[in-house]
Amino acid sequence: MKALLFVLVGVGVAAAIGFVISRRKKAEEDRRRAREDAVSGANVTNDITGVGAGGVLKMPPFGNNRLPIETYVKTRHRYQDGEGGPPWYELVCEHGRREMVVEWSREGGEVYVTAGYDDEHPRLDDVGLTEEKLIEFDESGRGRFEWDGDTWHLSESGERRYFADDGREGEGFYCWEFESDDESRNLSVEKWAGDHKFYVYVLHNVDARAIEVFDAGQVKR
């Protein structure tokens, strides 16, 4: 009798486990189908230059990210140098509770993309720079410093214009741009009119061809 009881109990446990596994597989399949339906009905072209607010991207690994991540675009801003050169764009994105910035620019037929997290940007004193040193770099047209295991070289400096939400009204600021020795990262220092602070941003170079666009969102025309 006990043997029969053990057999019945074993069969019941096996059935329960099988039921749980079956439900999990069904839930995973439902999520996959829902995702495919959403993507197939979305505004999709696999081109980051056409992405605006409401867009959804899949970014390849960069920086400390070892796996691809999906991110939602909250807004899109435009930048331009003080001489009216070609614009470049900033996509302000959400990934979990973190804010991420994805920037892209176009040179000829090539699109260049950089990305980084807002909470990973250092302060000016963290990188060992001062206002005096930046002025010296600006006047000489060259400069270098050591930080985070890399040597950083001044690539250019000058006035920039920022257009919030890709609008018409712009704000001016001054910018120093640096590139790491291995050309994998870019560091910029910004000084805005009327603000005594210097803001430092570090972005990683990303292969634009490896970015997937699930939804382009809306772009102002």
Q: How many domains does the chain have?
A: 2
CA distance linking residue 75 with residue 203, whole number of Å = 18
pLDDT tens for residues 31-82? 555 444 444 444 556 899 999 999 999 999 999 999 999 999 999 999 999 7
Mean pLDDT of the chain: 86
139 and 178 inside one domain: yes
74 and 28 inside one domain: no
199 and 97 inside one domain: yes
175-194 in b/e form (b: 16+ CB < 10 A) is bbbbbbeeeebbbbbbbbee
92 and 190 inside one domain: yes
195 and 180 inside one domain: yes
Between 163 and 8, the more confident residue is 163
178 and 116 inside one domain: yes
What band does 84 get if pLDDT is binned at 50, 70 and 90? confident
The range of the structural domain enclosing residue 54 comes to 48-215
